[in-house]
Amino acid sequence: MGNTSTRSQTAKCDAPPPPPQAPPSPGEAPEPEEVSIEEAAKNATAYTNPGPFEALSAEAKRFVFVDTFDGARLDLSKQLSPMMMINHNFWLGTSMLPNSNKHYTFTSQVVADEDQTAVLVGRLDMNGTMEGRVIKTFRQDEDLSVVGKFVCVATPEFDAGSNQLAGDVDISGKSWSGNVKYGCMGGGDYFSCNYLQAITPRFCVGGEAAYIGAQKVSVGSYGCRYNGVGWMGSAQWSGQQGALSLNYKKEITKDRVNFGAELQVAPTLESNVVFGAEFNLKQSKVSTVIDGGGGIKTVVEAKLHPAANLQFSAEADHLKDTFKFGYGMTIMG
């Protein structure tokens, strides 16, 4: 019986191989791999959100705008709790205010809910101007963001034209952003809407339309921006004034040295050019701006402590023979 079993197994091993399968006919195509709709949409949306239209040129403009001041300025901030922060701002001995040489502002900020989707901001100054803001995030995810803002400004009777009541909504997707605003300011209604769309991963275009009820005029503006590798350029055109603004920003040394330039051209063929630079050192930052009229503005900010900064400000206009100097301190607790 043992020999019979061995012969049977040998016969099975020596059996001929199975016939090969017939190749698929030319008309039959292999079944494609299943791809989810979410994965396909994620691969198709390679653009990034371009940001709001109001900030189209902000990345370059911050290098050609320096917040200079004269006199002494002190800014104190205190975190009272994880949900509340207050700020005191003192400004003494200044010639930049119309009717006074001193100013004080108190600001408080409160997070209204545990999800941190609602923020309340209140501001009061020594002239009696009160300002309140409500910022509410209704949706915040990769596909869509919806943020609503409401602002109310009340001024004393002698400056009633500065009273303001307005609300706006920011809506943004993966490759676009838009804003709608309506309110009352300057003694009349105000309405505006804008839209910014990414055409390529580096290039975006957009526009804005607004109606100013106090002046009974409609205005429009258009703009575009291109983000290169280490540089950025933008252009904006105002339909009402017919003015063209060109901005350029170049990163000379990563996170250290940046250069900016702005050229503004008006229909009267009058133009203005501004060059600016920012130097980020180990414990300080130097920002300087030179305009076409020979004006020079410089601010030096030194970090004395992780929660304390010291500022020195200087502004010189040689054609007008005016000079302004100031120093300030920022303390956070």
Question: For a pLDDT cut of 90, what percent of the chain falls above it?
Answer: 70
Q: Residue 24 falls within a domain, yes or no?
A: no
Q: Residue 271 falls within a domain, yes or no?
A: yes
User: Which has more pLDDT, 73 or 333?
Assistant: 73
Res 278: pLDDT? 97
Res 13: pLDDT? 46
Q: Residue 15 falls within a domain, yes or no?
A: no
Cα gap 23→26, rounded to integer Å:
9
Q: 3-state class of 61 per DSSP?
A: helix
Q: Residue 216 falls within a domain, yes or no?
A: yes
Res 304: pLDDT? 94
Model confidence pLDDT, tens digit, residues 187-207: 789 999 999 999 999 999 999
Q: Residue 30 falls within a domain, yes or no?
A: no
Cα gap 308→76, rounded to integer Å:
10
pTM of the model: 0.80
Q: Into how many domains does the chain fold? A: 1
Q: Residue 213 falls within a domain, yes or no?
A: yes
The token duo for 100 is: 């006074």
Q: Which domain holds residue 149?
A: 48-332
What CATH number is attached to the domain comprising 142? Answer: 2.40.160.10
Other C-beta atoms lying within 10 Å of the C-beta of residue 156:
12
Average pLDDT value for residue range 279-285: 95
Q: Residue 266 falls within a domain, yes or no?
A: yes
Model confidence pLDDT, tens digit, residues 23-68: 555 545 445 445 565 665 555 556 789 999 999 999 999 999 999 9
Cα gap 234→216, rounded to integer Å:
30
| pLDDT at 148 > cutoff 90 | yes
Q: Residue 55 falls within a domain, yes or no?
A: yes
Average pLDDT value for residue range 269-282: 93
- The H or E element that residue 89 is part of is strand 84-92
Res 204: pLDDT? 98
| pLDDT at 6 > cutoff 50 | no
Model confidence pLDDT, tens digit, residues 156-189: 876 667 789 999 999 999 999 999 999 998 778 9
Model confidence pLDDT, tens digit, residues 216-248: 899 999 999 999 999 999 999 998 788 999 999
Res 103: pLDDT? 95
